[in-house]
Amino acid sequence: MNPFPIILSSPSGGGKTTIARELLLRRTDLGYSVSCTTRAPRVGEVEGKDYYFLSRGDFERRRAAGDFAESAEVHGNMYGTLRSEIGRVLGAGKHVVMDIDVQGAQQFTRAFPKSVTIFVLPPSADVLLERLRQRRTESKEQLALRLHAALQELQAVDLYQYVVVNDDLAKAVHRVSAIIDAEVVSRERVAGLRQQVSALVERLEVEIHS
């Protein structure tokens, strides 16, 4: 199996992180890439499990050194995916699952063009607003920033290979899992066909030269 990156994007509150966690619980062929951020840890978040929490200075130095496959400033904080994290998961023979925003996804696919990109849509604007408001961890100004970002992210949906509506978590997880399975079969078939063509070409070349 040739493992590949899987990118889940959605507006904040769209459910991409929850879907990623559910997939990791259900599938043994997936691994998670831990991202870096300059924001402060939230209650219950663990260093090295949820994020690598960096100072802005450390983040900038690592970005200048080319350590990130993608990085972006979101809601006043920096986020990034380390190339070493991607290599760690792929090197273990697992597909790497990431939940990153639209801006980061565009950068990442330039670095890893074989990535599978999936946009997770909330079932309605009302549901999205309710999910954001239920957090109760942000000021009105921070909520306004997230709403503005959500609008921009929704306008980028056509850049993604797949779109999954998160109207029901179990169904959404099943849909994303089915996409992964379909991609595995498709890529294995293409690889097999290429090997078959190579063998045919080699055999014909031998026949021609003889």
Query: What CATH number does residue 26 fall under?
Result: 3.40.50.300
What pLDDT is stored for residue 75 in this prediction? 75
Distance CA 16, CA 157 (A): 14
Is residue 120 assigned to a domain?
Answer: yes
pLDDT tens readout for residues 2-25? 899 999 999 877 889 899 999 999
Is residue 199 assigned to a domain?
Answer: no
Instruction: Name the band, by pLDDT with cuts 50, 70 and 90, for residue 188.
Output: confident
- Domain containing 95 equals 5-183
Is residue 60 assigned to a domain?
Answer: yes
Number of domains in the chain: 1
Sequence-distant (≥ 6) Cβ neighbours of residue 66 within 8 angstroms: 83
Is residue 195 assigned to a domain?
Answer: no
What pLDDT is stored for residue 123 in this prediction? 81
Instruction: Name the band, by pLDDT with cuts 50, 70 and 90, for residue 136.
Output: low
In the block, tokens 């100004």 appear at 141
Termini Cα distance of the chain: 36
What is the C-alpha radius of gyration for the chain, rounded to an integer number of angstroms? 20
What pLDDT is stored for residue 135 in this prediction? 62
Instruction: Name the band, by pLDDT with cuts 50, 70 and 90, for residue 137.
Output: low
Show the CA angle centred on residue 106, arms to residues 105 and 109, nearest 5°: 80
CB distance 81 to 63 below 8 Å: no
